[in-house]
Structure 1
Amino acid sequence: MKDLPRVLVVDDEEALRELIVARLNRKGWKADGVGTAGEALARLGTAIYSVAIFDLKLPDGDGLELLHQARERQPDLEVVILTGHGTIATAIEAMRRGAYDYLTKPVNLAELEVVLEKAADRRALVVHNEGLRLASRGTATATIVGRSEAIRRMLDVVHRVAPTEVPVLILGESGTGKELVARTIHRESRRQDGPFIAVNSAAIPENLMESELFGHVRGAFTGATTARAGLVEAAEGGTLFLDEIGEMDLALQAKLLRFLETGEYRRVGDNRQRVADVRVVAATNRNLLQEVEAGRFRRDLYYRLNVVQVLVPPLRERREDIPLLVEHFLRLKGAAPDALTPRAMATLMAYSFPGNVRELFNLLERGLLLSGNRPVEPEDILVEQLFKASDPTLLPLAEVEKRHIRRVLEATGWNRTEAARVLGISVRNLYRKLEQYGWQPSHH
């Protein structure tokens, strides 16, 4: 029996209500029944339903008002109206106000099931599309956090450039949040309902990058058994974010320049010219002007991309934002606002953060994991440079590192993949450390 969605049946005719509820539950639905509008609203306040069946005439109100109140509580709820022959005009009005369909009494239960399934399918499609839209726009948690002068200056540029169509070049060190800035530009643009497609030029092998970006036809190269659209096509009507643009090879830079100037491109191995309506936002942690002078980056592409620059400040230049970022991270993790001791916060405030916000969040995650149920201490976040610089009486750094790795392994149940993620190193590097310490894979 397939698992069908949850449905609420609202009808003051007890015999009919119980008949519908019993049949739907027998067919795999999760059906609940109530006899009044008040009871229906109470249920909608405590449980999520996919579909509801409302009788137009209820003891404490009518179906039209209930429809309005129900959709306020659960906007994705699909509603099927039950009506007598004398109130069909009212049922049609209900559909105009957003009801999915209406059926007349006496209701045909087989027909009701078909209507409910179609309503549930539509609701599932709407929810899915909304999820994609939110994913493309960035979720509410993907927020630029900070009140420092450096962040305010950056956001001023972002807010001014976002509604335009000009290319944007985002500059900043690794870990500063360049993709988050790009998502913010997309979210505040006229393309906000279109897709946001991110591609890291450094993460894709050079020989595959053109195919990844522009797509390929069948047989274009060994292994190309089917035609495939590229990320440019996927970004149609939206924003294409090219991260680490400085890593792109010169031949592909020429093709990207042509696309930026004309909107035209070709799939690899194809003679057909295609067109895409895409806004390009690029980012790099390199000095592109130096790359141009060294002959590693095209001068004309640099000037085409660099219409507007957004400089993302490193964390060391906005230390006053560290407490806000800590508070934001703890809230996302469901941790208490005072999860860090004053000593731990002071340690963070004194640190230079070469890895910027990404490193801060990594250290906080590590600290929460290692501290268990007690407040996070400096020893849990282990900012190695501070230990080394501030207290010569501490253990040698190599021994501190060894003990720290041991603690993380124990905290993760010796799950090496999870431990490597928390430590911020590769799994291969972790295995090297285990071998160096003489800890066998089964050692714990």
Structure 2
Amino acid sequence: MNKILVVDDEESVRYSFTKLLRAPDYQVSGVQNGPEALEKIKRDPPDLVILDIEMPGMSGLEVLQQIKHLAPRIPVLIITAYGSGERVITAMKYGAYEYLEKPFDIPHMRTIIEEALGVGRLMKEEIRVDAAVADWSGNYIIGNSPAIKEVYKMIGRVSASDVNILLVGESGTGKELVARAIHQHSNRLEKPFLAVNCAAIPDTLLESELFGYEKGAFTGAVKRKFGKFEQAHRGTLFLDEIGDMNLGIQAKLLRVLQEGTFERLGGSETLHSDVRIIAATNKNLEKAISQKDFREDLYYRLKVITITLPPLRMRKEDIPELLNFFLAKHRAQLNKADISLAPETMDALIKYDWPGNVRELENVLKRAVLLCKGNIITPDIVAAELSGERSAAGEERGERLPAFIPGKLEDYHGRLYQHVMEEVEKELILAALQAMEGNQVKTAKLLGISRVMLHDRIEKYGIKSKTVIKEE
């Protein structure tokens, strides 16, 4: 049963919505002002609030702010006959799900209501994660910012269909969690969800991991192995870091997407697979296509729908909620129930730009909980992570940064940003390799990337071992 609260000072409007939403799966109630609405939300939280923006006494915008304080996960639809650009901006800033003017189109309004209810359910539901993947029950997409709400909307819109989806976003933005949410809200829910990190598995093993192999296909193949396409039949296969897949495996993947067929390694039997593909990348695949590193036909097969995940620096209003979530998680895991964040620490964490996104935030907080000797995480505990050693290095980098910027900017028209980023990346990899005395395993761990990705960058930039190994 979907509980909907209509807040409008006009009885005729409240009655209209009651009539409009007269259905077995709707329970509609109405109040005539803001204070009554807030009191009802405290007593019996609805699944959706439909709120008039122009009411005597407490305005709709004031009520909206109070609702978002009381119950931030309840979607709110703003309706009014007095629309203006400024009101739209303010309402969306305060967290309104959508803004519609009277008189509105009834079928469109029904669609928006269903969509908002779906997003509300998604924001409140736990995303199921296998025990092998996580040992803590709180696995949610966290946030209530406009940027993350757009992701919720897209999940709600695409989950029920069987189209392939491409998730794009920086490392640590939560691409696998979004993929799991899509699967959980799809018609394939009762079937397997399997994840494969294409960058973490060597090319020689990735093909057999995906497609399986027959006994005797290669040395060590002592028995038949089913690949992920067979294991995930009628379910969802999540291919993370798809941009690191080599061209040979891309060709086999394309065939599965086009025809639904493949063969195991060393086998001749043609097998059929019904699998929904959700792929993810933090790379610019269009650039990879231009450099002949990624197949264009596969790219368009994968990106029927593209969902872009915002970096954490673009949704800083979600950081307090994320911090509270991860604090609760790691207090439970590390048996430190009384630990809390000092207000100054919270401020410092909110101001930080989080280049590693949510993953970095969780790691910093986990370390802080572990190292905290009292009950309060003070700023000095996280200082080394957020500034400390980085500040001195930052000053040195600041002096060197102009060297990466070409003198004649117009010579790099349309690719200036990419040129500078590649120069910086090359210097970073060189510095890390030198620090680890050429040891690629240690360098990859230092950088927080896979060995496959590190090897790819070494090849890309033509870095030679003699240039990185320190002389005794």
Q: TM-score, normalised by structure 2?
A: 0.53
Among 153, 157, 161, the residue aligned to 1:156: 153
Q: Distance in 1 between matches of 2:143 and 2:338?
A: 17
2:254 counterpart residue number: 257
Following superposition of structure 1 onto structure 2, how do residues 45-444 of structure 1 map, counting pairs within 5 Å?
141-333=138-330, 334=332, 339-387=340-388
Q: What are the ranges of 5 or more consecutive residues in structure 2 without an aligned counterpart?
A: 1-127, 394-444, 450-472
Identity of aligned residues (%): 47
SS in 2 for 1:223: coil
Whichever residue aligns with residue 170 of structure 2, its letter is E
Work out which of the two has the higher radius of gyration on C-alpha atoms and give 1 or 2.
Answer: 1
CA distance in 2 between counterparts of 1:135 and 1:278 reads 23
Q: CA deviation at 1:210?
A: 0.7
Matched to 2:245, the amino acid is M
Q: CA deviation at 1:141?
A: 1.9
SS in 2 for 1:216: coil
- Superposed CA RMSD: 3.0
- Residues 338-366 of structure 1, C-alpha deviations (whole Å, 9 max, x = no match): 71101111110111101000000000000
Instruction: Tell me: CA distance 1:215–1:324, structure 2 relative to 1, closer, same or farther (3 Å).
Output: same
Whole-angstrom distance in 2 between the partners of 1:307 and 1:136? 31
In 2, Cα distance between the equivalents of 1:336 and 1:391?
Answer: 35
Task: Measure the CA separation in 2 of the matches of 1:346 and 1:312.
Answer: 24
| 8 A contact 1:217–1:224 mirrored in 2 | yes
Taking the aligned partners of 2:392 and 2:381, their CA distance within structure 1 comes to 16
Whether contact under 8 Å (1:330, 1:336) holds in the other structure is no
Shift of 1:135: 5.5
Q: Which amino acid aligns with 1:193?
A: E
Amino acid in the other structure paired with 2:200:
A
Report the secondary structure of 1:169's partner residue: strand
What is the distance in 2 between the residues matched to 1:295 and 1:176?
27
Deviation at 1:372, TM superposition (A): 2.9
Please say if residues 242 and 283 of structure 1, whose CA atoms lie closer than 8 Å, have aligned partners that are also in contact: yes
Query: Separation in 1 of the partners of 2:211 and 2:310?
Result: 32
Compared with structure 1, are the counterparts of its residues 280 and 208 closer, same or farther at alpha carbon in structure 2 (3 Å cutoff)? same
Contact 2:364–2:385 (8 Å) recurs in 1: no
**Aligned CA distance change for structure 1 residues 248 and 386 (closer, same or farther; 3 Å):** same
Amino acid of the residue matched to residue 357 of structure 1? Answer: V
Preserved contact between residue 159 and residue 183 of structure 2 (Cα < 8 Å): yes
Distance of 2:209 and 2:358 partners within structure 1: 29
* Partner Cα distance (1:337, 1:164) in 2: 45
> Hey, what does 1:43 align to over in structure 2?
none
Cα distance between partner residues in 2 of 1:295 and 1:220: 30
Q: For residues 208-251 of structure 1, what are the alpha-carbon distances to aligned partners after superposition, in whole Å with 9 as ceiling and x for unaligned? A: 11111000001111111111100111111210000000000001
Return the offset for 1:381: 2.1
Moved over 6 A (4+): 136-139, 389-392, 422-426
The 1:135/1:184 distance shift into structure 2, 3 A limit, reads farther
Judging changes above 3 Å, is the alpha-carbon distance between structure 1 residues 313 and 268 closer, same or farther for their aligned structure 2 residues? same
Aligned pair in 2 of structure 1 residues 383, 319: CA closer, same or farther (>3 Å)?
Answer: farther
Inter-partner Cα distance in structure 2 for 1:186 and 1:343: 39
Letter in 2 for 1:159: G
Q: Is the 8 A contact 1:148 1:320 kept in 2?
A: yes
Structure 1: distance between partners of 2:369 and 2:245: 38
Instruction: Give, in whole Å, the separation in 2 of the partners of 1:425 and 1:206.
Output: 20
* One-letter amino acid of the counterpart of residue 143, structure 1: Y
Shift of 1:133: 9.1
Q: Closer, same or farther in 2 for the Cα pair 1:141/1:286, shift >3 Å?
A: same
**Distance (Å, rounded) in 2 between the aligned partners of 1:380 and 1:215:** 48
In the TM superposition, what whole-angstrom CA distance separates every residue of 1:65-91 from its partner, at most 9, and x where no partner exists?
xxxxxxxxxxxxxxxxxxxxxxxxxxx
| Contact map agreement 2:147 2:315 (CA 8 A) in 1 | yes
| Change over 3 Å in CA distance of 1:276–1:391 after alignment to 2 | closer
Q: CA offset at residue 377 of structure 1?
A: 1.3
Q: Is the 8 A contact 1:315 1:357 kept in 2?
A: yes
1:149-201 Cα offsets, whole Å, 9 max, x none, are: 10001111111001100000000100111000000000000001111100000
Letter in 2 for 1:147: N
SS in 2 for 1:282: strand
Matching residue of 1:18: none
Contact 2:194-2:237 within 8 A present in 1 as well: yes
Gaps in structure 1 of 5+ consecutive residues: 1-131, 393-421, 427-444
Contact conserved, 2:237 with 2:277, CA < 8 A, in 1?
yes
What do the CA deviations read for 1:123-150 (whole angstroms, capped 9, x no partner)?
Answer: xxxxxxxxx9966999852210000010
Aligned residue pairs, count: 270
